[in-house]
Chain A
Amino acid sequence: MTGPRLGRVPAVLVLPALVATTLLVVPLLTLVLDTPWRTLPGHVASEAVQDALLITGLTSLLTVVACVLLGTPLAWLLARVDFRGRRVLRALVLVPLVLPPVVAGVALVTALGRSGVIGQHLPFTIPYTTAGVVLAHTFVSMPFYVLAVEGALRTHGASYDVVAATLGADRWTTFRRVTLPLALPGILAGSALAWARSLGEFGATITFAGNYPGTTQTMPSLIYVALNSQPEVARTLSLVLLVLSVGVLVLLRERWAVAR
């Protein structure tokens, strides 16, 4: 042990910490150890799983694209433009972060459902379509993205913006040529967070978009369905998601190591 010797580490702190660690590690460990490795390739190759993998991959990717295209300008506004109601806006943006996903789903149904406040006037339907999945995922993932990018924009401060302006650049030029390149690490980190959130999204998706194989059934939805009828399949899929999530974590750590 390094640092000053302040005395023994008290058991009253060590024991709860051990319990917490056990709680976090043991279920994941059993998931890995109890995976039916022999039948795994067969399960992964099944049509339902392939469909769910495809839907999950497609929707999570589109979610990230939507977050980058819409969330980056929002993060920039929050970080760089002083306008009335900025604090209120930031608070509103963060609400989905703490909202139970099923409530998010109900809110989306209320607004955009077939008979929803806005949805009944639309010439097309969003719920129970793949687009609906992307919408639900974007709703819950956007705050993570905006927070990460706004943070990155703030760490690089506005001093470069001032310099660019004195050199004759308008704000759009400055955004493209200075702000965006400098915020790139934050944009990548935010994308990874949004992607991870989208991969695991279940509550809002199943409430707003349902669970139709081939169109709206994502990996988490399939796991939920399979757990009763085919627990082995559920465990296999869970392992796949676990690996993907850990992959995101590794990606983020690399990013942060580089950004420092």
Chain B
Amino acid sequence: MGGGAVTDGLRVDVDLPGRVRAELEAAAGEVVVLIGPNGAGKSSVLQAVAGVEPGAVRVGATDWTHLPVPARRVGYVVQDRSLFPHLTALQNVAFGPRARGRSRRDAERTAHEWLARFGLADLADRRPDRLSGGQAQRVAIARALATEPEVLLLDEPFAGLDVGVAAALRVELARHLRDFAGVTLLVTHDAIDALTLADRVVVLDEGRVAQAGTPADVSAHPRTRHVARLVGLNVVTAGDDLVAFRPDAVVVSPREPQGSSRLRWHGPVASMTPHGDAVRLLVHAEQDLLADVTPGAAAELGLEPGREVWLSVKATAVRRYAADTMRP
């Protein structure tokens, strides 16, 4: 069973003039993933909750807006981890409980428990410079949770980790987050994090909430190109509707395709990259579109960057939804 005081939820209202204007709410026990491009203001939201940046914050019945940082019950895992380099893993995790008034023995017992929970019991006496990236990140998360926060803030927790390490930590973190009774805000630019960890996804773009919903909603009905690209979908505007379709549903041909039930676009190939067994094309049509073709087809069509191609997709392979649905 994880720590964390039970809250009635969180309400954040960040207003940094010219940069971020975002409101969001989260219920107790909920994992909210903030996703969006660089500079969208994701980290600013976390900093506002932690009290490092100004912003109106209400947790349950308590107004945190004017509380100094140490008085806020947050666990904040910053992006560069910032484990104290002069303290061992155990001392790092024990730091919070001690700072909050527990005795050294008591704090170190708690720290031991948390390290054990993250499978790091035998690394307790190591300094951060002798921990691997994945181990250091586990210590950082254990340190944040050891203070039994009401709100857990995770800023790009998998950044800078090897793919395999990140995948293992993602699974482990999901387990810990299930046990955590408080609110979790997790910032990422990786759709996998959002789809695997989130109860709710909030998409930030240019300092504003562009979309909010369950991972399934957001990935099925992306409202911005950025979200579409993140979840690997094409989204185009068709009248008042948005149309979403998968790159592997796109047919690539050298000449304008026939048939009335098809949506079609025309433009030069911008780039070609391996994508699983396929080759993923980025085509500069009226807007950028993704298309997956087999390597054989790519060779047969003589595809190369700069080559003009036609893209088309069957009407039955697209999802059409009103542009004003899924408003946050």
Give residues in A with beta carbon < 8 Å to B.
159-160, 162-170, 173, 177-178, 181-182
Contacts and interface: CB of A to CB of B under 8 A. Distances in A.
A159 B95 contact: no
A173 B99 contact: yes
Interface residues of B, number: 23
Contact of A167 (B80, B85, B143): B143
B244 interface: no
B307 interface: no
Given A167-B147, A168-B100, A168-B147, A182 B69 contact: no
Nearest to B80: A159
Contacts of A166: 50, 52, 69-70, 72, 74-76, 144
B64 to A, nearest CB: 13
A167 B78 contact: no
Interface in B70-114: 70, 72, 74-76, 78, 80, 82, 84-86, 95-96, 99-100
B99 A163 contact: no
Contacts of A165: 51, 68-70
7 contacts: A162-B69, A162-B78, A163-B78, A166-B74, A167-B70, A167-B95, A168-B147
A82 to B, nearest CB: 14
A182 B127 CA distance: 14
Contacts of A170: 70, 99
Would you list the 10 A-B pairs with minimal beta carbon distance, nearest first? A167-B96, A169-B99, A165-B69, A166-B76, A168-B100, A168-B99, A163-B82, A181-B86, A168-B70, A165-B70
Nearest to B69: A165
A162 B82 CA distance: 10
Nearest to B96: A167
B219 to A, nearest CB: 32
Contacts of A177: 95, 99
Given A162-B52, A162-B69, A167 B99 contact: yes
A109 B82 CA distance: 49
Contacts, number: 57
A181 B95 CA distance: 14
Nearest to A163: B82
A84 B66 CA distance: 22
Contacts of A167: 70, 95-96, 99-100, 143-144, 147
Contacts of B50: 162, 166
Contacts of A169: 70, 95, 99
B86 A182 contact: yes
Q: Which of B52, B72, B85, B99 is most buried by chain A, counting CB atoms within 10 A of its CB?
A: B99
B84 A178 contact: yes
Contact of B99 (A159, A162, A164): A164
Contacts of A178: 84, 86
A162 B46 CA distance: 13
A160 to B, nearest CB: 6
A165 B52 CA distance: 10
B147 A159 contact: no
A260 to B, nearest CB: 14
Interface string B53-72: 00000000000000011101
Contacts of A160: 82, 84
A107 to B, nearest CB: 40
B86 A159 contact: no
Nearest to B49: A166
Given A181-B86, A182-B86, A168 B80 contact: no
Nearest to A165: B69
Contacts of B95: 164, 167, 169, 177
